[in-house]
Structure 1
Amino acid sequence: MQCKKQWKRFLSELEVLLLFHHPNILELAAYFTKSEKFCLVYPYMRNGSLFDRLQCVGNTAPLSWHIRISVLIGTSKAIQYLHNTEPCLVICGSVSSANILLDDQFQPKLTDFGMAHFRPYLEHQSSTISMTSSSSKHLWYMPEEYIRQGKLSIKTDVYSFGIVIMEVLTGCKVVLDDPKHIQLRDLLMELMEKRGLDSCLSFLDKKVHPCPRNFSAKLFSLAGQCAISRAKLRPSMDEVLTTLESAQASLYFAEDPPTSLKSFRCPSPLFLENVPSIPVEDDENQNNHSLPHDKGLRKDGLTQKVPFECSQSEVTFLGFDRTTGSKRNEDACNRP
């Protein structure tokens, strides 16, 4: 009996890997069978699994937010690809952080299709299957309709991916060590429902530098939508991918959007740290910040004053000629 189960999982994985190819799906290097032994050979993934890197196994450095969102986007592309294949779509059935491997460049590779199921390409189709002992290790990633009734659909993968997003955001395991036997999903969903998204921000992974609030709030919201109890309310993987790409764009800003001119700080490396982004009151006395003058601008030799907006009530003029001109010109520039 056990041999039949292993043979079924072997065929399922082999079928998916031979029929479907994607940059974010772990490619098959070789396979062979001998009597009752089955072997699949894959390329070596130097950076291990996403689970190991989130837990910093082997004292590895924590993943940056840029790498984390890139891993989520790559994984979602792989799942989206499998959900949209024709004439039969593929339900992965085993999406988890342990089944997302990372190559030398930290590009994600989705693996483990032993529980994959093929379904005709119908948007809202689901089916009922019998649970096996081999799938019990993935129960923490499975929705209630699967655990109770054995119902399997593409929304099952969406739910599992939502749990992975929660792991990526918090750096926690699916089942928290303290308090014991509390699921990460249940804890975060309860906080979202009772206290709002802001209450989840305190659970952000503290092993890595803080990320912009709009980025983390958007991902917590997406995770909650994916892991909602009612399957019909979960987004499609196309919608998930769109949201992730939108969240990634917000990470290119070093901090949340400024609320005023004085709080603005341009992230471009072309702007030096010691050069203020707006004029200050003593700019008239700083030679290195004065604007270059053009004698051709005015016939009388006076350099044109250029206004810079500092605030709603103050304008500072820069750019008067320090080498030419009479004392009258200096007095005019210094006159309040």
Structure 2
Amino acid sequence: MWITVNTDNTIKEILHVSKSNTLQVCLVKTGTSIPYINTLELRPLADDIYTNESGSLNYLFRVYYSNLKGYIEYPDDVHDRIWKQILPYQDWQILTTNLQINVSNDYDLPQRVMKTAVTPIKASTTTMEFPWNLEPPTSQFYLFLHFAELQSLQANETREFNVVLNGNVTFKSYSPKFLEMQTVYSTAPKQCDGGKCLLQLVKTSRSTLPPLINAMEAYTVLDFPQIETNVDEVIAIKNIQSTYGLSKTTWQGDPCVPKKFLWDGLNCNNSDDSTPPIITSLNLSSSGLTGIIVLTIQNLANLQELDLSNNNLSGGVPEFLADMKSLLVINLSGNNLSGVVPQKLIEKKMLKLNIEGNPKLNCTVESCVNKDEEGGRQIKSMTIPIVASIGSVVAFTVALMIFCVVRKNNPSNDEAPTSCMLPADSRSSEPTIVTKNKKFTYAEVLTMTNNFQKILGKGGFGIVYYGSVNGTEQVAVKMLSHSSAQGYKQFKAEVELLLRVHHKNLVGLVGYCEEGDKLALIYEYMANGDLDEHMSGKRGGSILNWGTRLKIALEAAQGLEYLHNGCKPLMVHRDVKTTNILLNEHFDTKLADFGLSRSFPIEGETHVSTVVAGTIGYLDPEYYRTNWLTEKSDVYSFGVVLLVMITNQPVIDQNREKRHIAEWVGGMLTKGDIKSITDPNLLGDYNSGSVWKAVELAMSCMNPSSMTRPTMSQVVFELKECLASESSREVSMTFGTEVAPMAR
């Protein structure tokens, strides 16, 4: 519970240390009126300022002293704090200076705040008093006082005072430094008797000048005793919500806390306030579920009861349910499940399993529950479908062979490329690729590459050579290395993908060679190599300017968007990185290397469970952790690419304190200065707004939870806006208008 809002035109502010990578702010109806909000803003702060024991502070006041009425806020304050101006009392005066104040003590107060201070008019005045009241009176608070001496003191002058809070000296014999900001703050929370607080600055006996102060802030302690739900379980339950399209009103915010707003259908164990709550029960009975029982359920590692009854679930009963150690009750009754109940699940001790009302499921309640009494019946019920399945396979194989013979004898009926799935030479388990006008012989490959004379590059697949077809069309020929870890599966996958997809931002396949162990892919030639060569300087030439980088990012994003939305079924690239983004002679961009790509073969399927593949640093951590592949894994990798283009920093740097580029950028963002992040080779020649937008987009792409990442369609839209902003800057500069980069 943060605050109760009951008036119009209200601004509430909190300093909060999040315990996870996600944050939920919920508006809860308290009366007859409907909650509403105009704006929600998040601002990063360094973790070594506003330190406190509770982790959260509620804004009380933030003031500075000046004769000029008004507020100071962004862009003067890089952290977007709002400073309220206070006029001096009748016997106080305002000191000002036009000189720069050194404000680099991490709090980063605006120059305008620190260039003024308040002090008594009479030098003989010994005490300055600042009273305020607390509501409720028992509130604890933290106080932050900001000082800088604005007068150049003579040799015989001294300004020294004690900081006294509620009659207790909290800082003794303090002298502000000339034109240098210092912050004095309470290291432990304070309270005031009856809620009536009094701060006093008391002149010491050796001081010739009265006290002064430039600005002060106060925050009350906000205690959030309930720890947020275990982050892995939050990701799992939200993935379940997304997969099944659950639109339950109560399924908002944190699943388990506050207890009063626990998600409907969940039970949580949150008895121990020192550890994150865990989900122990999930009841989705009669929730209109369709499709299969999703793999992500296994990530609810502490689940004891699972009720998926009275839905329209199809497919088999997954074996992973037997591997969930805490699971004691499973209710799958009243669905449309089929196949055989896994033996491992039947034999699991202490498990209560209900599968009634699934007519296609080959295990009755009696045979599953009373297996000790009716073992013979159980075996019989499971053997028949296996025999039937084998028979089906034999029948299908015979039919397929007849089909192939018929097709062979009727070539005029070939309206589309077909594959007859016959064994291919030594790779007897792998089907060959059958297509038209795309297959080259090995002799033709030797001719087009002039016996592999010119090497363009090397990769995990093998060596890439320069070539030309018929002496006119330039090509790049990628030969499969015998030691390649990718192998024939990836070769076949890439050929089949590129034969059926066509987009201006995907590299075109001219043809391929499959002759014994000689495997080659022949692509259109990209004269300017890959993006990594340009970013690292390996290729030489001029630095890619910001506008060109945005164009490259946009075109690569459009290629990915086509794979995700233009392909049926959708494709996931799985290896998006700078070396797989190629550039032609006009710096037009094409995405390449589809050997690891995967499709979603079942219509409506939102993910596939697969062995993890990709490149370290670019690999989606959620996919790595769960083996659950979605198109959002490509979005994560694209976010890494975008950060590389912005910063020109390595993805992984063992010499950095924060080794991964996302962690490094996240740390730098707290400073609020885009120059500390942007590639210094750009020399500040960019629209800072477009860079900020690109950084924010990249970080959102790399959100730990795939559910909250944008789609590639949203990424394309945002990049178009970035490019438009940068293009308008270039046009305005042409007409002599300067656009100065600003911190945001």
Q: TM-score surpassing 0.5?
A: yes
How far residue 43 of structure 1 moved from its aligned partner, in angstroms, is 2.3
Structure 1 partner of 2:532: 51
How far residue 37 of structure 1 moved from its aligned partner, in angstroms, is 2.6
Match 1:36 to one of 505, 514, 517 = 517
| Aligned counterparts of 2:673 and 2:605: Cα–Cα separation in 1 | 34
| Aligned counterparts of 2:641 and 2:732: Cα–Cα separation in 1 | 33
Aligned to 2:649, the other structure's residue is in SS state: coil
Structure 2 partner of 1:9: 490
How far residue 38 of structure 1 moved from its aligned partner, in angstroms, is 1.2
Mapping for residues 171-186 of structure 1, pairs under 5 Å: 171-176=648-653, 178-179=655-656, 182-186=659-663
Aligned to 2:680, the other structure's residue is in SS state: coil
Q: Check if 1:78 corresponds to 2:559.
A: yes
How far residue 61 of structure 1 moved from its aligned partner, in angstroms, is 1.7
Q: Are the counterparts in 1 of residues 575 and 596 from structure 2 also a CA contact under 8 Å?
A: yes
Please identify, of 103-112 and 179-188, the stretch whose mean Cα deviation from structure 2 is larger. 179-188
Once the two structures are superposed, residues 87-111 of structure 1 have per-residue CA deviations (whole angstroms, 9 ceiling, x without a partner) of: 3000010100110000001111100
Q: Are the counterparts in 2 of residues 3 and 36 from structure 1 also a CA contact under 8 Å?
A: no
How far residue 120 of structure 1 moved from its aligned partner, in angstroms, is 4.4
Name the CA shift for 1:123/1:142 in 2 (closer, same or farther; >3 Å). Answer: farther
Name the CA shift for 1:176/1:129 in 2 (closer, same or farther; >3 Å). Answer: same
Q: Are the counterparts in 1 of residues 534 and 540 from structure 2 also a CA contact under 8 Å?
A: no
| Aligned counterparts of 2:713 and 2:644: Cα–Cα separation in 1 | 21
How many residues of Structure 1 are paired with residues of Structure 2 in the alignment?
256
Name the CA shift for 1:180/1:18 in 2 (closer, same or farther; >3 Å). Answer: farther
Structure 2 partner of 1:22: 503
Aligned to 2:504, the other structure's residue is in SS state: coil
How far residue 130 of structure 1 moved from its aligned partner, in angstroms, is 1.4
Match 1:154 to one of 626, 631, 655 = 631
Matched residue type, 1:149: T
Q: Are the counterparts in 1 of residues 501 and 567 from structure 2 also a CA contact under 8 Å?
A: no
Mapping for residues 119-130 of structure 1, pairs under 5 Å: 119-120=600-601, 125-130=606-611
Q: Are the counterparts in 1 of residues 658 and 664 from structure 2 also a CA contact under 8 Å?
A: no
Q: Are the counterparts in 1 of residues 639 and 698 from structure 2 also a CA contact under 8 Å?
A: yes
| Aligned counterparts of 2:657 and 2:667: Cα–Cα separation in 1 | 17
Q: Check if 1:204 corresponds to 2:678.
A: yes
Q: Are the counterparts in 2 of residues 140 and 174 from structure 1 also a CA contact under 8 Å?
A: yes
How far residue 47 of structure 1 moved from its aligned partner, in angstroms, is 1.0
| Aligned counterparts of 2:536 and 2:595: Cα–Cα separation in 1 | 25
Structure 2 partner of 1:215: 690
Name the CA shift for 1:266/1:190 in 2 (closer, same or farther; >3 Å). Answer: closer
| Aligned counterparts of 2:604 and 2:578: Cα–Cα separation in 1 | 26
Please identify, of 174-183 and 108-117, the stretch whose mean Cα deviation from structure 2 is larger. 174-183
Name the CA shift for 1:191/1:51 in 2 (closer, same or farther; >3 Å). Answer: same
| Aligned counterparts of 1:3 and 1:209: Cα–Cα separation in 2 | 42
Q: Check if 1:139 corresponds to 2:616.
A: yes
| Aligned counterparts of 1:180 and 1:227: Cα–Cα separation in 2 | 20
Matched residue type, 1:245: K
Mapping for residues 230-249 of structure 1, pairs under 5 Å: 230-249=705-724
Structure 2 partner of 1:314: none
Q: Check if 1:228 corresponds to 2:703.
A: yes
Name the CA shift for 1:123/1:78 in 2 (closer, same or farther; >3 Å). Answer: farther
Q: Which has the higher helix share?
A: 1
How far residue 149 of structure 1 moved from its aligned partner, in angstroms, is 2.3
Name the CA shift for 1:46/1:88 in 2 (closer, same or farther; >3 Å). Answer: same
Matched residue type, 1:100: I
Aligned to 2:507, the other structure's residue is in SS state: coil
| Aligned counterparts of 1:180 and 1:36: Cα–Cα separation in 2 | 46
How far residue 208 of structure 1 moved from its aligned partner, in angstroms, is 1.9
Q: Are the counterparts in 1 of residues 652 and 660 from structure 2 also a CA contact under 8 Å?
A: yes
| Aligned counterparts of 1:3 and 1:18: Cα–Cα separation in 2 | 23
| Aligned counterparts of 1:61 and 1:119: Cα–Cα separation in 2 | 41
Q: Are the counterparts in 2 of residues 139 and 147 from structure 1 also a CA contact under 8 Å?
A: no
Mapping for residues 311-322 of structure 1, pairs under 5 Å: none
Structure 1 partner of 2:647: 170
Name the CA shift for 1:157/1:37 in 2 (closer, same or farther; >3 Å). Answer: same
Q: Which structure 1 residue ranges, 5 or more long, are not aligned?
A: 256-264, 274-336
Q: Check if 1:63 corresponds to 2:537.
A: no
Q: Are the counterparts in 2 of residues 163 and 223 from structure 1 also a CA contact under 8 Å?
A: yes
How far residue 27 of structure 1 moved from its aligned partner, in angstroms, is 0.3
Aligned to 2:524, the other structure's residue is in SS state: coil
| Aligned counterparts of 1:100 and 1:87: Cα–Cα separation in 2 | 23
How far residue 151 of structure 1 moved from its aligned partner, in angstroms, is 1.6
| Aligned counterparts of 1:184 and 1:202: Cα–Cα separation in 2 | 13
Matched residue type, 1:205: D
Once the two structures are superposed, residues 248-291 of structure 1 have per-residue CA deviations (whole angstroms, 9 ceiling, x without a partner) of: 11112438xxxxxxxxx95454x799xxxxxxxxxxxxxxxxxx
| Aligned counterparts of 1:156 and 1:16: Cα–Cα separation in 2 | 19
Matched residue type, 2:651: V
Name the CA shift for 1:180/1:111 in 2 (closer, same or farther; >3 Å). Answer: farther
| Aligned counterparts of 2:697 and 2:604: Cα–Cα separation in 1 | 21
Structure 2 partner of 1:302: none
Q: Are the counterparts in 1 of residues 644 and 650 from structure 2 also a CA contact under 8 Å?
A: yes
Q: Normalising by structure 2, what TM-score?
A: 0.33
Name the CA shift for 1:88/1:272 in 2 (closer, same or farther; >3 Å). Answer: closer
Name the CA shift for 1:238/1:121 in 2 (closer, same or farther; >3 Å). Answer: farther
How far residue 176 of structure 1 moved from its aligned partner, in angstroms, is 2.4
Once the two structures are superposed, residues 136-167 of structure 1 have per-residue CA deviations (whole angstroms, 9 ceiling, x without a partner) of: 5x121011122222221100000000000000
Q: Are the counterparts in 2 of residues 174 and 184 from structure 1 also a CA contact under 8 Å?
A: yes
Indicate the RMSD between aligned Cα atoms, in angstroms.
2.6
Q: Are the counterparts in 1 of residues 632 and 709 from structure 2 also a CA contact under 8 Å?
A: yes
Structure 2 partner of 1:117: 598
Once the two structures are superposed, residues 51-93 of structure 1 have per-residue CA deviations (whole angstroms, 9 ceiling, x without a partner) of: 1101111433210111100001101111001101353000010
Residue identity (%)? 27
Matched residue type, 2:712: M
Please identify, of 53-62 and 65-74, the stretch whose mean Cα deviation from structure 2 is larger. 53-62
Structure 1 partner of 2:121: none
Once the two structures are superposed, residues 167-215 of structure 1 have per-residue CA deviations (whole angstroms, 9 ceiling, x without a partner) of: 00011121126327811122123444xx27x245412111123211101
Name the CA shift for 1:39/1:83 in 2 (closer, same or farther; >3 Å). Answer: same
Matched residue type, 1:207: N
Q: Are the counterparts in 1 of residues 618 and 636 from structure 2 also a CA contact under 8 Å?
A: yes
Aligned to 1:40, the other structure's residue is in SS state: strand
Name the CA shift for 1:33/1:119 in 2 (closer, same or farther; >3 Å). Answer: same
Name the CA shift for 1:268/1:15 in 2 (closer, same or farther; >3 Å). Answer: same
| Aligned counterparts of 2:546 and 2:596: Cα–Cα separation in 1 | 30
Q: Are the counterparts in 1 of residues 674 and 688 from structure 2 also a CA contact under 8 Å?
A: no
